[in-house]
Amino acid sequence: MSANILADVAKALLSGSIKVVDLTAPLGPNTPVLYLPPQFGKNTPSVKVHEISQYDENGPFWAWNWLELGEHTGTHFDAPSHWITGKDLPGNTTDTIPPQAFVGPVNVIDRSKESAANPDYLLTVESIKEWEAEHGEIEENSWVVMRTDWYKRNGSTETFLNADENGPHSPGPTAEAIEYLVSKKIMGWGQETIGTDAGSAGGMNPPFPAHNLMHKAGRYGLASLCHLDQLPAKGAILIAAPLKFVKGTGSPIRALALVTK
């Protein structure tokens, strides 16, 4: 039976009835990175690409580079060890997380209209329950992501962070929404902004609840996702595998979704 299931998936991939959707932003020197206020500590560096050889005297038949970048750059995966609330949990780094966590069903909560009208939009428990009433209950060990179409701003740091003298303005969840999702034992939470929290999350209780509460529960985060507008509310499979960094707190990923046509 299980062999037949995989055979059917393979046939569907070959026939094109299952489409692979790329949920990943381009990664390079122009990738927007998060800038924290000085009181929060050091910032992650921009991506740097260093040439080793380019079919020349340093390597006549090959081209290759070495990279300089932060773990939490571009479309990336947050492990529990990324936050102080998850630092003592077992299996909390990218090299120790069970690979079963990297592949699973995904629930896509579309709040793109609300976010277009209000860049500070916050997803509430009531809004999640409204979505469940329409599309079905969020299952244990499934991913939950919020579509805002924010990825369309990813062309520059200015538009992506959307900051002014009062701080960044970008959508995200309330603390109560994250508590509700944690109570449902989801695999993790993701969104299209530069991090898994709203721009205003530093002033919430607790601060940065998507990080604080998800990682406290041993759950995971996905940030800077793209093209969630190509996914259905339910029915897609998310593949989000971090590099197996030893003691890694996170990793850039090539996030993919399997969607039936």
Q: Which residues are catalytic?
A: 82
Rounded Cα distance, 221 and 214, in Å: 8
Q: For residue 97, what is the DSSP state?
A: S
Q: For residue 96, what is the DSSP state?
A: T
Rounded Cα distance, 249 and 120, in Å: 27
H/E element holding 256? strand 256-260
Q: What tokens appear for 184 in the block?
A: 């449902």
Residue 227: which of 152, 131, 162, 157 has the closest Cα? 152
Asked whether the beta carbons of 227 and 22 are under 8 A apart, the reply is yes
Q: What is the chain's length?
A: 261
Residue 109: which of 163, 159, 171, 152 has the closest Cα? 171
Each residue of 16-31: b (16+ CB within 10 Å) or e?
A: eebeebebbbebeeeb
Residue 186: which of 109, 74, 122 has the closest Cα? 109
Cβ neighbors of 88 (< 8 A, separation 6 or more) are none
